[in-house]
Amino acid sequence: MPPRANPPSISVDNVDLFSVLVRGNALRQGSSWRSSRGLVALLLVALFTCVVATWLYVTSLDSDITETLVSQWELVSPQPRVYSVQCSEDYENYKRYPGCTPQKCGRAVTDNVVTREEAQVLRRLAERGLALAGSEGGASILDLHSGALSMGKQFVNIYRYFGDQISDVFTQEDFQLYRNVRGRIQAVIAETFGLNPALMYLTKPTFFSRINSTAAKTQHDEYWHPHIDKVTYGSFDYTSLLYLSDYGSDFTGGRFVFMDQNGNRTVEPRAGRVSFFSSGSENLHRVEKVTWGTRYAITVSFTCDPAHGISDPALP
């Protein structure tokens, strides 16, 4: 038999001291291993709790502050859905035009002014026009009044650049439809805000916009910044947006957001939907970044100042 590898055990009163020592060490190692495992588990639980609590806080914050005014699937008809807001003091710094200058401010949405078929015709018109060029970044515009069209990092004038050929792209009927729709939008804004439609004038810029998720290449592509139309565009007193595509199926992201002090309120675009509002700082807003697909809209705005009025777009 080979010699025992274990040291000789000292037996005192039937107690094997060596075994006691070895067991004691093992117990100590075991308990320190158990306690450090316990500590790690505790830390993981604490971390998990923190992550869950933060996530719950952030999502609850988000849902608290974002209210959907109108969803894409709803049909707002026959009456517009109107949300009144107190007019800002902005208007006091401008000349007043009785019968037009906002006395009542707010925002409204209607699906009863432009049909989905008309929106489709206008969308095809926008597609044809914007196919002539377009921005390198995610946001392109086509202004039928001035002729400005995004091209690469700049703009060209379609009427100058394409000359007579432009009549192969746009027909007289297209312009007629624009005029007709503009008139109906003007009427619904006047009725909603108690204005005399004859004292409202179309103003510039009035443009088709096409937005997709391509990264911005210039400032012109950065459509998502919060802004006040009266500040950005100067002449605007009433802004309207006619949507030509559907949130959720034609594109994702790209909701319109009113940024109020007590939270955000969104309008989900729907083809044929007209959203309109007084253009002062009571209606600070932004457009969410488009995350997928292509979003088409037309901005049609009105001024109370006849000097800032423009004529309807027309073929040259």
Q: Which residue from 124, 103, 223, 111 is spatially nearest to 170, judged by alpha carbons?
A: 124
The alpha carbon torsion through 281, 71, 296, 278 (nearest 10 deg) reads -20
- For position 237 contacting Fe ion by CB under 5 A, the verdict is no
Q: Which of 150, 209, 264, 294 binds ligand AKG (CB under 6 A)?
A: 209
Question: What part of residues 102-161 is at the interface with ligand AKG (CB under 6 A)?
Answer: none
Query: In this complex, which beta carbon is closest to ligand AKG, that of residue 193 or of residue 256?
Result: 256
Question: d(Cα 118, Cα 177) in Å, to the nearest integer?
Answer: 8
Q: Apex CA 210: angle with CA 275 and CA 133, to 5°? A: 150
First to last CA, the chain: 115
Residue 34 designated active-site: no
Chain positions 268 to 307 lying near ligand AKG, rule: CB under 6 A, are: 285, 287, 297, 299
Residue 209 interface partner, choices Fe ion, ligand AKG, none, CB cut-off 5-8 Å depending on type: ligand AKG
Asked if 229 interacts with ligand AKG (CB under 6 A), we say yes
Q: Please state the closest distance from residue 234 (CB atom) to ligand AKG, in A.
A: 12
Give the one entry of Fe ion, ligand AKG, none that residue 297 binds, where binding means its C-beta sits below a cut-off of 5 to 8 angstroms depending on kind.
ligand AKG
Q: Assess 91 for contact with ligand AKG (CB under 6 A).
A: no
Shortest distance (Å) from residue 75 CB to ligand AKG: 19
Question: Does 256 interact with ligand AKG (rule: CB under 6 A)?
Answer: yes
CA dihedral 55, 58, 59, 65 (to 10 degrees): 170
The binder of ligand AKG chosen from 114, 200, 241, 244 (CB under 6 A): 241
Pairing of β 256-260 and β 285-287: antiparallel
**Rounded-to-integer distance, Cα 82 and Cα 108, Å:** 4
Q: Minimum distance from CB of 301 to ligand AKG (Å)?
A: 8
Residues 274, 304, 299, CA angle at the centre, nearest 5°?
Answer: 30
Compute the CA torsion angle 136, 140, 142, 143 (nearest 10 deg). -110
Provide the minimum distance between the beta carbon of 297 and ligand AKG in the complex, in angstroms, as a whole number.
4
Q: For Fe ion, which stretch binds (CB under 5 A), given 3-11, 228-236, 288-296, 302-310?
A: 228-236
Closest distance to Fe ion from the beta carbon of 213 (Å): 20
Q: Whole-number minimum distance, CB 81 to ligand AKG, in Å?
A: 16
Contact partner, 294, from ligand AKG, Fe ion, none, Cβ < 5-8 Å per class: none
User: Which one, of 123, 210, 222, 176, lies nearest residue 315 by Cα?
Assistant: 176
CA nearest to 313, candidates 122, 102, 154: 122
For the four alpha carbons of 86, 257, 295 and 112, in that order, the dihedral sign comes to negative
- Distance from C-alpha of 213 to C-alpha of 9, rounded to nearest angstrom: 79
174 binds ligand AKG (CB under 6 A): no
Stretch that binds Fe ion, among 209-217, 229-237, 253-261, 272-280 (CB under 5 A): 229-237
241 binds, among ligand AKG, Fe ion, none (CB under 5 to 8 A by kind): ligand AKG
What residues make contact with ligand AKG under the rule CB under 6 A?
Answer: 209, 229, 241, 256, 285, 287, 297, 299
The catalytic residues are 295
